[in-house]
Each structure stands twice: as structure tokens, then as C-alpha cells.
Structure 1
Amino acid sequence: MKIENQYNSDHQPIGYAVKDWSRREYPTKVLLEGTYCRLEKIDPIRHIEDLYHVYGPTSPSKNWTYLPMEPFESKAALATYLKTISQSQDPFHYVIIDQVSGKALGTLALMRTNPEHGTIEVGFVIYSDQLKKTRIATEAQYLLACYAIDDLGYRRYEWKCDALNEPSRKAALRLGFTFEGIFRNALVYKERNRDTAWFSIINSEWADRKDRLESWLDEANFTVEGEQKRRLNEC
């Protein structure tokens, strides 16, 4: 639904009215429950064994090309990192738990939170190969978006990535984010330039995106072997 701008007394176009707006809250919820997975606030003790397979030295190097960090060479180093991020309010880090196996398969976070204006970003998306291209990966993103937009009431939900990171860009579009453009020379990381691709979902379009995700995630959309009957872009 397109929302029309309005005009002031000088006949100048101005943004549409946002009535009764109030400052949003920071993320605090420690458990987001789904059908195939749950998101738990990172616990450096309970989650370290599983996450060492995701973050540790056996993790494929290609998984770290577009991340601002490298795999951890020791469990002790990872433990220190997990303790630090578990205490962070922004980013607010979650671990993705498979409901069947109980294993932690990856992480993601709500970050760059702006409560005054109602903007928030999903980031620190780090998946094991076991998690990629699964129902769990999609549901994890769905759960986080529901929390940010439905529960906390944020108006703008962002996704950003290196403009050369084609898998991340495709994932954003598949999930229903709108591509907004490239910020050139946005960052320097790993001694190289990063142009950043920006994507967003805004609150006025979330209901449509949410219905689409729920249709795809419905158990009836999968065979007993777990194969999808309809692709997400067909829902």
C-alpha cells in the first residue's frame, strides 16, 4: 500500500503524518520460539561447544570472506568473544537452535537500533553449512523480523551487506526485503574497500511479507522428506 505525502500551508510536499509515535524499546527478549527452531540469547557456557563448530578453525574459509572477523583458532578465544557479545545490548545476539536436535547451528543479531526513529537492523548472520538453505534458516529470520516489527513496533527493518556478497543479496530479496541502493566506499575492513548494499522492509509492507513467509513455512508445504512443494517466491 502506497502512503501519500501531504502538503503544508506553503504548499510544499512533506512526509505523511505519524501520529501518536513514541520511542521504541531495545530488544530484551531472551527466547523466540518457532516450529523448526528457536532463538535464544547467546549463553557463552551452554552454546560454546556447538558454536565452536560454526566459529572455529574447521569452519570453511569461504564462510568468512564477507564478515569483519575471522574464525577463532581456539575455544578459549571463542569463549572470550561469546562472553563479550552475550553482555551486549546493541547488537543483541541470538543463537539459532534446531528444535529437533537441540544443536546450535548459527547466530544472528538485532543491531544499529534507533529507538527514537524506529529503525533496526538484522546482522551478524553467521550460519553453519548445515543451516544454510533450510527451513530453519528462513524461520530464524522470520522470528527475528516478527519480534522487531510486530512486538517492538519498529518502522524500518534493515539488511546490509557487502555489495559483492551475492548470496547475501539474494537472501535479502528472497525474504522480501527491498533493495535500496549501494553506499560506495562505505567501509574499510580486512584491508579492503566495502561498498554496502542496503535493503529494508518497512512496517506498512510487513503484513504481506509475513503472510508469504508463513505460507512457505507451513508444514503442509513440505514433503515427509522435508522437500519444499512451493518455493518462497511462488507463495
Structure 2
Amino acid sequence: MVVTLFKDNLSLEGERVRLLPASLEHLDGLFKASYHSDIWTYSPSIINNQDDLHTTMRNWIMSKEQGLRYPFVIIDKSSNEIVGSTSYMEISLQNRKLEIGGTWLDPKVWRTRINTECKFLLLKHGFEKLNLVRIQFRTDSRNERSIRAILRIGAQFEGVLRQDMIMPDGYLRNSNLYSILNTEWEDVKTRLERYMKKEEIN
């Protein structure tokens, strides 16, 4: 049943990363990982200081209690350090769908296996354990790096959500929408496993 998504102890683990439910005990590690302005160029939220992070965590907890989001911290197993965060969000149990989003990583682990493995773990759990029929992704239509990463895993472009979000500077953001369906998962799974094997060798 999809409802198992909301167990407080839901964690996912791969060869390189461990995804743990985000909580107040992770604040220091999250702040250390988030203290890079490059992370927030296209983000609808910005963490500039501890107050910003406390506000973000309170919002995460509130959304989790409402069944709308399940936030994770990303642990790099090679260093045992927090290197970012990602979430299940826009959760619709009755329609067996959700969004993987709110993802950010410390620049020191950009272009490593970590992001690929995070997506693999979240997609695998979503389709194989939660019995979802659809998982979607959104990104700023200007964010070419994120667009390439989403297309690389095999998600299908569906269109542009015009003026989808108001950014911190007042900019009206258009968001590109992508999705993977349960009928496409096996092909995407094979693709991600191949990428991870290659990235591990490199």
C-alpha cells in the first residue's frame, strides 16, 4: 500500500548514498552542505543562514504531517557527511503518483554517482514498493544542467507550466514538466543501473 510511504523510519540505501528522513538533528549538516550560492540559482527557496534553514525544516515537517511531502537528507557513505536533500512531494495517494523534487547537492559531489543513485533509489521504491503509476519532475525552464540530468535518466518531457512559481527575486518562473510511468520503469531502471556501473568505474 502507498500509505507505507509515511512511516517515520523510511530510509533508502545504495552503494554510495543513504537517504534518511530529514529531522532537526540534521540541521548543522544540512547548513554546512547548503552554504554555496551556486546551489540556489534556480531554486524557489534560498538558504542563506540558519534562520532560513530552520524555516525550511519547519515547512518540511508541516508538509510531512499533512501527507504532502517526505523530505530526506542525503548521506555520502564514503565520508558519512550530509551532502544535500531531496523529497517525495506533491503526493497524491488516491492517484498513486508523486513528484521527486526539492533536490539540491553540495557542489563537491556534483557530477558524481550520488545524484544518479538517489534518483534510482527513489524511483525504485516508488514503483516497486509503493505501487505508483506516475512519478514526475519539475525544473526551472532556464536550468539547463537540471534539464539534462532529468532527460538523461529517461524521463519524458510533457510541457511547460507557465508562471508556475514566484522566485525569491520576484521572477515568474516557467517550469518544465517531465514524468516516468510505471510501464516505463524497467527500461529506466536498466538505464540507471548502466550509468551507475559506469560512474563507479570512473
TM-score after normalising by structure 2: 0.88
Root-mean-square deviation (Å)? 1.9
C-alpha deviation, 1:96, in angstroms: 0.7
* Structure 1: stretches of 5+ with no match in the other structure: 1-22, 228-235
Higher normalized contact order (CA 8 Å, seq sep 6+, divided by chain length):
2
Q: Is the 8 A contact 2:113 2:200 kept in 1?
A: no
- Which residue of 2 is the match for residue 17 of structure 1? none
- Which residue of 2 is the match for residue 199 of structure 1? 178
Amino acid across the alignment from 2:53 = L
- Which residue of 2 is the match for residue 138 of structure 1? 116
- Say whether residues 1:126 and 2:99 are aligned partners: no
Equivalences for residues 25-40 of structure 1 within 5 A: 25=3, 27-29=5-7, 30-40=10-20
Give the structure with the higher percent helix: 2
Give CA deviations for 1:1-37 in whole Å, capped at 9, x if unaligned: xxxxxxxxxxxxxxxxxxxxxx842622521011111
C-alpha deviation, 1:83, in angstroms: 4.5
Equivalences for residues 59-74 of structure 1 within 5 A: 59-60=36-37, 62-73=38-49
C-alpha deviation, 1:72, in angstroms: 2.8
C-alpha deviation, 1:215, in angstroms: 2.3
Amino acid across the alignment from 1:175 = I
Give CA deviations for 1:194-215 in whole Å, capped at 9, x if unaligned: 1110100000010111012112
Amino acid across the alignment from 1:198 = L
Give CA deviations for 1:20-71 in whole Å, capped at 9, x if unaligned: xxx84262252101111110001211x2222112234xx12x3212111122
In structure 1, the residue corresponding to 2:108 is in which secondary structure? coil
Q: Is the 8 A contact 1:26 1:113 kept in 2?
A: no
Query: Which is higher, the Rg of structure 1 or of structure 2?
Result: 1
- Say whether residues 1:41 and 2:55 are aligned partners: no
User: Which 4+ runs in 1 deviate beyond 4 A?
Assistant: none
C-alpha spacing 1:55/1:213, structure 2 compared with 1 (3 Å): same
- Say whether residues 1:148 and 2:126 are aligned partners: yes
Paired with 1:193 and 1:71, the residues of 2 have a C-alpha distance of 20
Q: Is the 8 A contact 2:30 2:82 kept in 1?
A: yes
* Structure 2: stretches of 5+ with no match in the other structure: none
C-alpha deviation, 1:114, in angstroms: 0.9
Paired with 1:175 and 1:100, the residues of 2 have a C-alpha distance of 24
C-alpha spacing 1:167/1:221, structure 2 compared with 1 (3 Å): closer
- Which residue of 2 is the match for residue 18 of structure 1? none
Q: Report how many aligned residue pairs link the two structures.
A: 196
- Say whether residues 1:114 and 2:124 are aligned partners: no
C-alpha deviation, 1:176, in angstroms: 1.1
- Which residue of 2 is the match for residue 88 of structure 1? 63
Paired with 1:153 and 1:87, the residues of 2 have a C-alpha distance of 25
Give CA deviations for 1:152-204 in whole Å, capped at 9, x if unaligned: 01101100111111111111001111111112233322311111101000000
C-alpha deviation, 1:127, in angstroms: 1.0
